[in-house]
Amino acid sequence: MSLTDKAIARIREMIATGELMPGSKLPPEQQLAMELGLSRNLMREAVRVLVVARVLEIRRGDGTYVTSLEPGLLLEGLASAVELLHGHTLLELTEVRRLFEPVATGLAATRISPAELAEVALHLEAMREARDDIEALNEHDAAFHRAVIAATGNATLASLLEGISGRTLRARVWRGLVDENAAGRTLAEHEAIYAALAAANAPLAKAAALIHITTTEEWLRDHLAQDGSG
């Protein structure tokens, strides 16, 4: 482990143990460097790495602070990493979504409020109106799922699924462009998810989401096989 890595590990430890709380200010650079037995240059490098990871933030003229450490912030980089996936790894990503999202949708059915259900309905109606516009349809598709997952009240789960959905959203656009029947099937699958949520039926909501995601996964698997990309 390099000295910079040790400094990063030490700062993370200070945060994990509560020595540094979310939103708190780090000691002055020189003081922290002395405490960790590092040069100021190495200390700056460690801070830069943690700023990129959204663990720390530099406020010009004020100092360095621990961020809120909210899931949405710390997991923000996941979407960027996911965008680099291609070929068979894209299929693996869809499999991950299949493992998580149906369970989350079932959970949402037990927790969704009337206001949250109304938001889901709003996105569903927007999908109906956009059925002849593939790009708009998929935008509303993503918003529909985002609203469903938000209804779980689990910010970590929502952040994870948001992170892996960017590339799968593009896969759905791809699917729509080459399969003229995709819009009708997509709408029917979303109608089933909404009906289960409205009925507060967790097993049915989970099953409806599983069917929807599996349909996409099967199409992608077949398409990759045809292209020889899998």
Q: Spell out the domain ranges in the chain.
A: 3-69, 74-227
Q: Check residue 65 and report its DSSP letter.
A: E
Q: Could you identify the residue written with the tokens 């830069």?
A: 48
What's the whole-model pTM score? Answer: 0.73
In this predicted structure, what is the pLDDT of residue 4?
A: 84
In this predicted structure, what is the pLDDT of residue 189?
A: 93
CATH of 74-227, one of 1.10.10.10, 3.40.50.2300, 1.20.140.10, 1.20.120.530: 1.20.120.530
3-state secondary structure of 59: strand
Query: 47: Cβ–Cβ under 8 A, 6 or more apart, which residues?
Result: 11, 26, 29, 56, 58, 64
Contact 97, 140 (CB under 8 A): no
Contact 73, 133 (CB under 8 A): no
Considering the domain delimited by 3-69, tell me its CATH architecture: Orthogonal Bundle (1.10)
Q: Each residue's pLDDT tens digit in the chain (230 positions)?
A: 688 888 888 889 989 999 999 999 998 888 888 888 888 888 889 999 999 888 999 998 898 999 998 887 887 777 667 766 666 777 888 888 899 999 999 999 999 999 999 999 999 999 999 888 888 888 898 899 999 999 999 999 998 888 887 666 666 666 666 676 777 888 999 999 999 999 999 999 999 999 999 988 887 787 777 766 44
